[in-house]
Amino acid sequence: MRTHNSLINRLVQSDRGGAVLLVLLAISMVLVPLLNLAVPESSALHLSTYTMTLLGKYLTFALLALALDLVWGYCGILSLGHGAFFALGGYAMGMYLMRQIGERGVYGNAELPDFMVFLNWQELPWYWFGFDQFWFAMLMVVLVPGVLAFVFGWLAFRSRVTGVYLSIMTQALTFALMLAFFRNEMGFGGNNGLTDFKDILGFDLQSDTTRAGLFVASAVALALGYLASRFVVNSKFGRVIVALRDAESRARFIGYKVEMYKVWLFVFSAMLAGIAGALYVPQVGIINPGEFSPLNSIELVIWVAVGGRGTLYGAVLGALLVNYAKTYLTGAFPEIWLFALGALFVLVTILLPRGMIGLLRRKQTEASA
Amino acid sequence: MSSETNLPHDIPGANFSSAPQSRVADPEVLDTTHGPILYLEGVTVSFDGFKALNNLSLYIDDGELRCIIGANGAGKTTMMDVITGKTRPDSGSVYFGQTINLLELSETDIAQRGIGRKFQKPTVFEPLSVFQNLELAMAADKRVWTSLFAKLTGAQRDRIDEVLTIIGLTAERHRRAGQLSHGQKQWLEIGMLLMQNPRVLLVDEPVAGMTAQEVERTAELLQSLGGRHSVVVVEHDMEFVRSIANIVTVLHEGSVLAEGSMSKVQNDPRVIEVYLGE
């Protein structure tokens, strides 16, 4: 039997970018918590909790970008609504965290979250049941985005909706969800969303150790998500989705049920996005309908385009680079960020059709030539 | 939908050796005991009153290499469409072997039962390697879950190697299909058809746009397929037809004008009049 190690070996074989990514993640899993917890604050090497949480947030974005790259880069499904799956995963986590608050809320109601007391609700809506259990909430983190993706994909792909029309539909999906979640009657905190979280699995969310734990969890999730995605694209399934990206009717003619391949890829991708959202929420401490905003999903597309689609690690690189730039620019020159983002997209589309990774590869071939 | 277990594949002929013994006609099993593998009888197709096929009768023998020629509008493509289930005739019957009525089957079913068609314009999966193209085309369980965990068996690898040899692309196995020349793409596509272990190959204008060398190579390739597969080639290029055909069928206005060896057909005055004219 093959050991775990050789499975990873096989997966990253001839995938140098992936190997680099996994090594960096492994290092950061150890180094980042160490620099934060073990190095005293007075030391120049100390990493602030703020920075650690920021890095953790980037990693969840990277996982989200990975999810989009699977459907867009490999199967040509340009989803402009992937933020919806991210937000749904986030809401599932948020509901668990809300229930953990218990009596410590402003109104001290053990059963009902504050916003429900405020709305004069007498009892918990049925769809909140079970969210006091961590395992149930985690199940919902993957199940809710997964089921939505299945239903949406089933309807769209079976009707052979492709290209721009599909993109518009995904955009409409996330927009509709945003409007729905803004409504107080939906029971998800309306405009304010879910916030004021206290602890997760009994650990104080404000403490450095919990933050470090969340960072490590994000890094682990990204590494596992990467390996799972690599497994998918390296399999025959992966070759079929690439084949149908460019010659769908030919793939159908050979005997592949193209729509089922697309549906299941979409479902898998949505689940990854859901996990990313679930790790994002405890680190930023809030989830609100703004996460469904179409703009978020479009930004996500830019991350993947900047990094280079169809490589997986390119999406991770793009998410990290663009978000770092965003943090820097929104701090230093807040008024130009959106222009910079727009310019970035235009420039990448014109000059770097394969993104940063494409640029690196070109440099490499030039160097070796 | 797909009854893949009934697929007549693997070693051509092996699955059918037991068929002649049973007296009861089993519509699931290809029966070629009487010689022909394809029967078209009295097939008529009309589009808005125009008869694309007019009472066409044609028989293709098992293992035969047949060329079909005819002027534009003679009905060559329509005939292919009828056999593959794309077009339904107004009247007539089309049988695969003696028992399988193709008029009752869908396009996918017909393809899965072993009638493969190569279209004029080659469509291969350009981002994938030659080897991977053949792998995807291979007759196998093509459901999502199986594909996720599929591993090539030794026999399947051998089969891919074998087809690579037949189509002469062994040296190109790891090249991206998009980098192949036009002729190589055509051969790859023929290879992809072969991976599905068809009994009948319908090949539409295989040498259009090829260089002289490629044409020659294609002729050899198609001839090497005879015996194991029945090959029906529709072609305009007379030189090419002359070089490969044993029996040529000339179509004219939707029905058979002449049939026989190339020299016989070439000397047929009616053929000279309507088509060859050279």
Of A237, A246, A254, nearest to B147 by CB-CB distance is A237
Mean pLDDT for the stretch of residues B231-241:
86
Identify the sign of the CA torsion A46, A48, A54, A56.
Answer: positive
Scanning every residue of chain B, which has its alpha carbon at the shortest distance from the alpha carbon of A249? B123
Contact assignment for A236 to B196 by CB distance below 8 Å: no
Of B112, B125, B144, nearest to A260 by CB-CB distance is B144
Contact assignment for A254 to B136 by CB distance below 8 Å: yes
pLDDT of residue A27: 97
Strands A194-195 and A286-287: antiparallel
Scanning every residue of chain A, which has its alpha carbon at the shortest distance from the alpha carbon of B140? A255
Contact assignment for A239 to B132 by CB distance below 8 Å: yes
Of A239, A257, A260, nearest to B128 by CB-CB distance is A239
pLDDT of residue A129: 94
- pTM for the model: 0.86
Shortest Cα distance, chain A CAs vs residue B63, angstroms: 23
What does the domain layout of chain B look like in residue ranges? Answer: 8-276
Contact assignment for B136 to A240 by CB distance below 8 Å: yes
Contact assignment for A261 to B136 by CB distance below 8 Å: no
Residues of chain B contacting residue A247, judged by C-beta atoms under 8 Å apart: 123-126
Of A235, A251, A255, nearest to B149 by CB-CB distance is A235
Residues of chain B contacting residue A229, judged by C-beta atoms under 8 Å apart: none
Q: What is the separation, in whole angstroms, between the first and last Cα of chain B?
A: 50
- Check residues B111 and B129 and name the one with the higher pLDDT: B129
pLDDT of residue B275: 65
Residues of chain B contacting residue A256, judged by C-beta atoms under 8 Å apart: 136, 142
Residue ranges of chain B whose CB lies within 8 Å of a chain A CB:
2, 108, 111-112, 123-128, 132, 135-137, 142-144, 147-150, 192, 196
Token pair, residue B38, equals: 């394809």
Quick: pLDDT tens for A211-225. 999 999 999 999 999
- Indicate if the pLDDT at residue B22 is higher than 90: no
Site of tokens 């008529």:
B44
Residues of chain A contacting residue B150, judged by C-beta atoms under 8 Å apart: 235-237
Residues of chain A contacting residue B135, judged by C-beta atoms under 8 Å apart: 236, 239
Contact assignment for A235 to B147 by CB distance below 8 Å: yes
Shortest Cα distance, chain B CAs vs residue A70, angstroms: 14
Mean pLDDT for the stretch of residues B108-117:
84
Percent of chain B with pLDDT over 90: 37
What is the three-class DSSP state of A2? coil
**Number of other CB atoms surrounding residue A212 within 10 Å:** 22
Of B111, B126, B149, nearest to A255 by CB-CB distance is B111
> What are the start-end ranges of the E strands in A133-247?
194-195, 199-200, 203-204
Strands B36-47 and B50-61: antiparallel
Quick: pLDDT tens for B61-79. 988 899 998 887 788 889 9
Q: State the pLDDT confidence band at B28, using cuts at 50, 70 and 90.
A: low
Of A236, A247, A255, nearest to B125 by CB-CB distance is A247
Contact assignment for B135 to A235 by CB distance below 8 Å: no
Closest Cα to residue B127, out of A243, A28, A96?
A243
Residues of chain B contacting residue A261, judged by C-beta atoms under 8 Å apart: 144, 147
Question: Burial, B151: exposed, middle or buried (Cβ in 10 Å; 0-12, 13-18, 19+)?
Answer: exposed
Residues of chain B contacting residue A264, judged by C-beta atoms under 8 Å apart: 144
Contact assignment for A237 to B136 by CB distance below 8 Å: no
Question: Burial, A198: exposed, middle or buried (Cβ in 10 Å; 0-12, 13-18, 19+)?
Answer: middle
What is the C-alpha to C-alpha distance for residues A107 and A117, in angstroms, rounded to an integer?
Answer: 7
Of B112, B125, B196, nearest to A243 by CB-CB distance is B125
Contact assignment for B125 to A251 by CB distance below 8 Å: yes
Of B142, B148, B192, nearest to A235 by CB-CB distance is B148
- Indicate if the pLDDT at residue B4 is higher than 70: no
Shortest Cα distance, chain B CAs vs residue A40, angstroms: 49
- Mean pLDDT, chain B, rounded, equals 84
Contact assignment for B143 to A246 by CB distance below 8 Å: no
- Indicate if the pLDDT at residue B223 is higher than 80: yes
Q: pLDDT below 50 — which residues of chain A?
A: 1-2
Shortest Cα distance, chain A CAs vs residue B186, angstroms: 14
pLDDT of residue A255: 81
Residues of chain B contacting residue A235, judged by C-beta atoms under 8 Å apart: 147-150
Identify the sign of the CA torsion A152, A156, A162, A167.
Answer: negative
Scanning every residue of chain A, which has its alpha carbon at the shortest distance from the alpha carbon of B138? A254
Domain B8-276: CATH superfamily is P-loop containing nucleotide triphosphate hydrolases (3.40.50.300)
Mean pLDDT for the stretch of residues B86-103:
90
CA distances from B254 to A42, B47, B73, B250, B276 (A): 92, 12, 8, 10, 17
Helix axes A208-234, A236-246, angle to 10 degrees: 70
What is the C-alpha to C-alpha distance for residues B187 and B173, in angstroms, rounded to an integer?
Answer: 12
What does the domain layout of chain A look like in residue ranges? Answer: 4-368
Scanning every residue of chain B, which has its alpha carbon at the shortest distance from the alpha carbon of A250? B123
Of A232, A243, A257, nearest to B136 by CB-CB distance is A243
Contact assignment for A260 to B143 by CB distance below 8 Å: yes
pLDDT of residue B154: 93
Of B112, B123, B142, nearest to A256 by CB-CB distance is B142
Q: How far is CA B237 from the centre of its chain?
A: 18
Percent of chain B with pLDDT over 70: 88
Q: ipTM exceeding 0.90?
A: no
pLDDT of residue A368: 76
Shortest Cα distance, chain B CAs vs residue A155, angstroms: 18
Query: Chains A and B: how many Cβ contacts under 8 Å?
Result: 61
Shortest Cα distance, chain A CAs vs residue B204, angstroms: 16
Shortest Cα distance, chain B CAs vs residue A260, angstroms: 7
Scanning every residue of chain A, which has its alpha carbon at the shortest distance from the alpha carbon of B194? A254
Mean pLDDT for the stretch of residues B218-241:
87
A131: left (phi over 0), alpha (psi -120 to 50) or beta: alpha
Quick: pLDDT tens for B138-165. 988 888 999 999 999 999 999 999 999 9
